[in-house]
Chain A
Amino acid sequence: GIQVEQSPPDLILQEGANSTLRCNFSDSVNNLQWFHQNPWGQLINLFYIPSGTKQNGRLSATTVATERYSLLYISSSQTTDSGVYFCAVDRRGNYGQNFVFGPGTRLSVLP
């Protein structure tokens, strides 16, 4: 099956710093999403981005499908950005879904 890798596994930043999280996947996909898991366990959808670039406030994401990677950018980080960021990919399109998640990047933003 498809493999998903994320880097770095852990990241510690000072408030206000910028960061880039990377997701590599081993095969073509038609669905890629980034999630932020808060300390209470809920997965918050950040981006649905099978290809191209999107921005939402201080966050932006880029997926280069032909090269099988996606990047999540966090600018001017805040303590509330702390948590685990997951990349998830799926190949099934309209035949349903079976997301494969990466291992996550644990981000700690220090005040």
Chain B
Amino acid sequence: KAGVTQTPRYLIKTRGQQVTLSCSPISGHRSVSWYQQTPGQGLQFLFEYFSETQRNKGNFPGRFSGRQFSNSRSEMNVSTLELGDSALYLCASSPHSPGPIGNTIYFGEGSWLTVV
């Protein structure tokens, strides 16, 4: 079974531009979540999508947005890029099973974004 696939792996953008990152989850997984990793703030939750709906959202400004398509693939967009948006952006997918206990999540290799 193929793992979580993220594209692009590396990209450099200029302040003020926007960027779109893509994530293809593991086949059969319906939940996709996004995390930002920086040296100063560590790993922080951005948002989670399930069945094309945003189910949970972290504490990030509105410049960060996302969506999920009917095939569970997800994209996240950052508009009006700032230098502080330079980070590793990680996507994770998980299956959905009913019950009080959560599911294992599996991460992709990430997209390294540098804003100059």
Bound-state CA distance A103–B38 (Å) is 11
In the complex, the number of residue pairs spanning A and B with C-beta atoms less than 8 Å apart equals 78
- Asked whether A18 is an interface residue with its Cβ less than 8 Å from the other chain, the reply is no
Bound-state CA distance A45–B95 (Å) is 14
A96: contacting residue among B56, B92, B98, CB under 8 A? B56
Bound-state CA distance A50–B104 (Å) is 10
A99: contacting residue among B98, B101, B105, B109, CB under 8 A? B105
Which residues of A (83-111) have their CB < 8 Å from a CB of B? Answer: 86, 88, 90, 92-101, 103-104
Interface size classification for chain B: 20 to 34
Q: Determine the chain B residues whose CB is within 8 A of the CB of A30 once the complex forms.
A: 100-102
B90: contacting residue among A40, A43, A45, A48, CB under 8 A? A43
Q: Determine the chain B residues whose CB is within 8 A of the CB of A43 once the complex forms.
A: 90, 92, 107
Contacting pair A35 B56 (CB below 8 A): no
Contacting pair A97 B102 (CB below 8 A): yes
Q: Determine the chain B residues whose CB is within 8 A of the CB of A42 once the complex forms.
A: 107-110
Contact residues of A: prevailing secondary structure: mixed
Contacting pair B106 A45 (CB below 8 A): yes
Contacting pair B104 A94 (CB below 8 A): no
Q: Determine the chain B residues whose CB is within 8 A of the CB of A50 once the complex forms.
A: 101-102
Which of B35, B97, B102, B107 lies at the interface centre, i.e. has the most chain A CB atoms within 10 A of its CB?
A: B102
Q: Determine the chain B residues whose CB is within 8 A of the CB of A75 once the complex forms.
A: none
Contacting pair B101 A31 (CB below 8 A): yes
Chosen A-B contacts, 5 in total, with CB atoms closer than 8 Å, are A43-B92, A45-B107, A50-B101, A96-B31, A98-B56
Taking Cβ atoms with an 8 Å cutoff, the residues of B that contact A are 31, 33, 35, 37, 42-45, 48, 50, 55-56, 58, 88, 90, 92, 94, 96-110, 112
